[in-house]
Amino acid sequence: MISKSLAIKVLNAALATGGDYAELYLEESTPEIIMLENGHVESASSPQGYGCGLRILCGFRSVYGYTSDLSAKSLLALAEKLSASYAEPRKFTVEKIVSPRVKKNINISDHVRDVPVDEKINYLKEISGIISAVDPRIVRVQTGLSAGYKKIEIYNAEGPVGQHFSNEEERTRVFMIAMAAGENGIETSFSGPGASAGWSYFTNTIDYKAIAKDAGEKAIMMLTADECPSGRYTVVIKNGWGGVLFHEACGHPLEASSTSKGLSVFSESIGKPIASPCVSAWDDGTIANEWGSDNIDSEGVPTQKNELIRDGICVGFMIDRFNGRRLNMAPNGTSRRQSYKYCPTSRMSNTYIAAGKDDPEQIIKDTPLGIYVANFGGGSVDPTTGEFNFSASEAYIIRDGKICEPVKGCTLIGTGQEVLMQIDRVGNDLELGQGNCGAASGSVPVNVGQPTIRLKEITVGGRGGKLE
């Protein structure tokens, strides 16, 4: 997007006042977004993003700026404005730029962008038709496809020899939203499979027809669900998207952006027990073609498989370059950003609780009374106190070891410290689920994941009174 010689010029202008690291992040994105309402195309758009972010670090200080004008004049002006924050003698001059080889975790041969748009529309119409056909009480169906495509170039320098990385990000997600109307109002269900994969993933690898039918059936089922009880109960959480519990309650507080400043409940936890011994957890940005995977992170560091918890002991964090400085720990390929408009920081990629030994059916059989959460809408956490919440979009009462009647309006709350210790059973059925995670550096695609797990006791909020 810019020449190497201009990149060197801008980096050197940025480093003129004593900065010890400078980084240019250039991006051009041309996503394709198609939205259908009840099987009819409402909009098809391709908003083009274009710009550059410049970051200069000086010890524990950071300055960041961006512009959508990539001319030499504009970039040099940005470098001058930002570098004015520091007033130290120049530490080094960038003399040359090398391009390290990047190992690819994403390999796509059948690019979604090359598929004729009418074929993608027909696919979405088929899904819409399947959902509508489930029941006449389905009053509205929204289907959509969002195919992200980004060309990225990174130039960075920590010494006279700088680095240049060129990368492409390509990921697609299909949205299915079913809305059903009944006597007690309207219920919505959502499904959104996604991957850094090609078109055949969506047409062949996943069973999109079954996913669509299930979305329709879930909306209908919730029409007659009772209100969830409130109080403290045993809760079994289904594998896959249920891992949003770990993501919110434990993943965010293990990001270096929280731990490095002493703001996280897990700041001083390396080497200490933070979970029950049956829990091990990972953040792995390298899984081939997964939704949360990348070849390199937003500052050019190759993604890695990072161990977070081993048998209940905290063994690692997600670490970006800047926060790594406070921790005196090396960055581990987890620095991410939504776009050039965001300064990168430590974020999760594909984060999951590792598979255990229990048979998931046995876990339910061993639970006399409790709540089975099959799906979540999402949640949030305050990393400083560890307090989290998340709301179930599909939940049932467990009675005498069996999954019984569905309930709605179920919220789980607690603290990360508490919930990790409350896990007493871990299934052998690890699965991942796709989501978008919003934090300081914007919204980034992440996989959450876990096997079926059981929490001995956790606070459940709902309008249905006591569970009997």
- Is residue 457 a contact point for another protein (CB under 8 A)? no
As to burial, measured by CB atoms within 10 angstroms (0-12 exposed, 13-18 middle, 19+ buried), residue 30 is: middle
d(CA 219, CA 206): 21
Phi, psi of 447 (to 5 degrees): -100, 140
Please state at what angle helix 72-83 crosses helix 4-14, rounded to 10 degrees. Answer: 20
Question: Segment near another protein (CB under 8 A), from 5-13, 62-70, 96-104, 426-434?
Answer: 62-70
CB of 196 to another protein, least distance (A): 23
Minimum Å distance from CB 435 to another protein?
11
3 state SS of 112: helix
Q: Which residues within the stretch 282-341 sit at the binding site for another protein (CB under 8 A)?
A: 341
> Restricting to residues 73-92, which ones interact with another protein according to CB under 8 A?
78, 81-82, 85
Q: At what angle do helices 208-223 and 117-133 cross, to 10 degrees?
A: 40
- Name the residue type at position 400: D
Contact call for residue 272 and another protein (CB under 8 A): no
Taking the chain, what is the end-to-end CA distance rounded to the nearest angstrom? Answer: 64
Q: Which lies closer to another protein via its Cβ, residue 284 or residue 394?
A: 394
Shortest Cβ distance from residue 428 to another protein (Å)? Answer: 28
Q: How many residues bind another protein (CB under 8 A)?
A: 78
Enter the DSSP assignment of 90.
-
Q: Which residues sit opposite 442 in a β-bridge? A: 439
Q: For another protein, which is the closer residue by CB, 307 or 382?
A: 382
Q: What are the beta bridge partners of residue 195?
A: 172
CB proximity list for 416: less than 8 A, separation 6 or greater: 248, 249, 250, 253, 265, 266, 381, 386, 388
Burial string for 101-122 (b: 16+ CB within 10 Å, else e) reads eeeebbebeeebbebeeeebbe
Q: How far is CA 178 from the centre of its chain?
A: 23
Stretch near another protein under the rule CB under 8 A, chosen from 2-10, 258-266, 328-336, 362-370: 258-266
Told to check if 460 binds another protein by CB under 8 A, we report yes
Footprint on residues 388-407 left by another protein (CB under 8 A): 388-391
Smallest separation (angstroms) from another protein to the CB of 28: 7
Task: Report the alpha-carbon distance of residue 266 to residue 416 in Å, rounded.
Answer: 9
Of 8-16, 158-166, 182-190, 290-298: span binding another protein (CB under 8 A): 182-190
The nearest distance, CB 371 to another protein, in angstroms, is: 13
The nearer residue to another protein, 53 or 302, going by C-beta atoms, is 53
Which DSSP string do the residues of 321-355 spell out, in sequence order? HHHHHHHT----S-EE-SSTTS--EE--SEEEEPP
Of 173 and 425, CB closest to another protein:
173
Per CB under 8 A, the segment of 105-113, 225-233, 282-290, 420-428 that binds another protein is 225-233
Q: Which two tokens stand for residue 111?
A: 């690019």
CB of 257 to another protein, least distance (A): 11
Residue for token pair 């990385």: 165
Query: From the list 103, 232, 357, 365, which residue makes contact with another protein (rule: CB under 8 A)?
Result: 232
CA 55 to chain centre: 23
Examine residue 371 and tell whether it contacts another protein (CB under 8 A): no
Q: Is residue 121 close enough to count as binding another protein by CB under 8 A? A: yes
Residue 64 binds to another protein (criterion: CB under 8 A): yes
Task: Say if CB 106 and CB 127 are below 8 A apart.
Answer: no
Query: Where in 344-363 is the site for another protein (CB under 8 A)?
Result: none
Nearest approach, Cβ of residue 238 and another protein (Å): 17
Residue 412 contacts residue 458 (beta carbons within 8 Å): yes
Comparison of 230 and 349: residue with beta carbon closer to another protein: 230
Figure out which of the listed residues 380, 402, 405, 428 binds another protein, where binding follows CB under 8 A.
380
Considering the complex, what minimum distance in angstroms separates the CB of residue 255 from another protein? 16
Distances (CA, A) of 177 to 30, 209, 227, 235, 456: 24, 14, 22, 27, 33
443 is an interface residue for another protein by CB under 8 A: no
Kindly state whether residue 68 participates in binding another protein, applying the rule CB under 8 A: yes
Burial of 84 (C-beta count, 10 Å sphere; 0-12/13-18/19+): exposed
Confirm or reject binding of residue 198 to another protein (CB under 8 A): no
Which member of 163, 188, 304, 443 binds another protein (CB under 8 A)?
A: 188
Question: Could you say which residues in the range 131-150 bind another protein, by CB under 8 A?
Answer: 139-140
Q: Using CB under 8 A, pick the residue from 242, 356, 378, 451 that binds another protein.
A: 378
Within residues 26-45, the interface with another protein by CB under 8 A covers: 28, 33-35, 37, 40-45
Looking at 14-22, 297-305, 310-318, 457-465, which segment touches another protein (CB under 8 A)? Answer: 457-465
Of 82 and 308, nearer to another protein (C-beta) is 82
Nearer to another protein, 355 or 446 (CB): 446
Please identify, using beta-carbon distances, which residue of 50 and 92 lies nearer to another protein.
50
